[in-house]
Amino acid sequence: MANIGFIGLGIMGRPMAGHLIAGGHKLFANSRSGTPQELLDQGAIACANGREVAQKAEIIVTMLPDTPDVEAVLFGRGGVAEGLTAGKIVVDMSSISPIETKEFAKKINALGCDYLDAPVSGGDVGAKAGTLTIMVGGPDAAFEKVKPIFELMGKNITLVGGNGDGQTTKVANQIIVALTIEAVGEALVFASKAGADPARVRQALMGGFASSRILEVHGERMIKRNFAPGFRVALHQKDLNLALQGARSLGVSLPNTATCQELYNAAVAAGGAAWDHSAMVRVLEKLANFEIGQK
């Protein structure tokens, strides 16, 4: 059993941290909004800042919204770097810039510690169930040491390559997810406006080649009008920004990713930054002047 630090206890981080406690580990926690009472009741120990977490834990996990948040928690005043001693491992499970991740890893390595970037896919459903997909970049030895901890939070765990490769994989994941949400939204708007029952259309499609996890989970959200997050529009918008920034630097064209980003931009402009990302369909409905299920 290990002493584990966990920083960032939001929609995703809270259940992930809970699985680590349930697995028998001692958890030192810190979050901008405070450590949730449910984790304290499970035995989590609240810490004042990242430095205190790093001083008390052997493995420090971060699960934060964006690149600047990770940078501040790791290297800001009272940050993780101030509490590290040689031999510890920093594991960033946020979804952030692959380029900045490589720089963060170099700084942590200079302190005699290993760094793993280990972003996840599966949303709040996967976080609660402990079935997240975890895409890891970093050294083999550190990965093998942390793998039993990953196995408490996820099921499909892959060491992709070196530092930054985990984040690159997550960006690729977010491209596929966004484009699939858009495709499911278009299909259900089309079918519903044509007069078909969208719930039955979805049921039929789930048995064919168009079946996907997005059609299963997010298609149901669209039909039932359940747009409480989940995974917020603003976070997916951020991830597609990373994709498009990376594409520009690589000289790669991502035309459909750009289209999905514009749809998310429109959702944010309509006040939907905190909607679930399946709410991209609301923008498609606005363009069609028709809502799924409307008679």
**How far is the C-alpha of 69 from the C-alpha of 137, rounded, in Å?**
19
Q: Write the CB contacts of 256 (distance below 8 Å, at least 6 apart in sequence).
A: 179, 182
Token match 């491992």: residue?
A: 89
Task: Judge if pTM exceeds 0.85.
Answer: yes
Look at residue 284 in the predicted model and tell me its pLDDT: 98
Q: Which of 230, 233, 293, 289 is nearest to 263 (CA)?
A: 233
Identify the three-state secondary structure at position 276: strand
Q: Which residues of 268-287 are buried (b: 16+ CB within 10 A; e: fewer)?
A: beeebeebbbbbbbbbbbee
Active site residues: 170
Q: Enter the DSSP assignment of 231.
A: S
Q: Is the separation of the CB atoms in 1 and 20 below 8 Å?
A: no
pLDDT digit string (tens) for 86-145? 999 999 999 999 999 999 999 999 999 999 999 999 888 899 999 999 999 999 999 999
What mean pLDDT, rounded, does the chain reach? 97
Q: Enter the DSSP assignment of 278.
A: G
Look at residue 123 in the predicted model and tell me its pLDDT: 86
Look at residue 173 in the predicted model and tell me its pLDDT: 94
Residue ranges of the chain with per-residue pLDDT less than 50: none
Look at residue 1 in the predicted model and tell me its pLDDT: 87
**How far is the C-alpha of 135 from the C-alpha of 93, rounded, in Å?**
9
**How far is the C-alpha of 88 from the C-alpha of 82, rounded, in Å?**
13
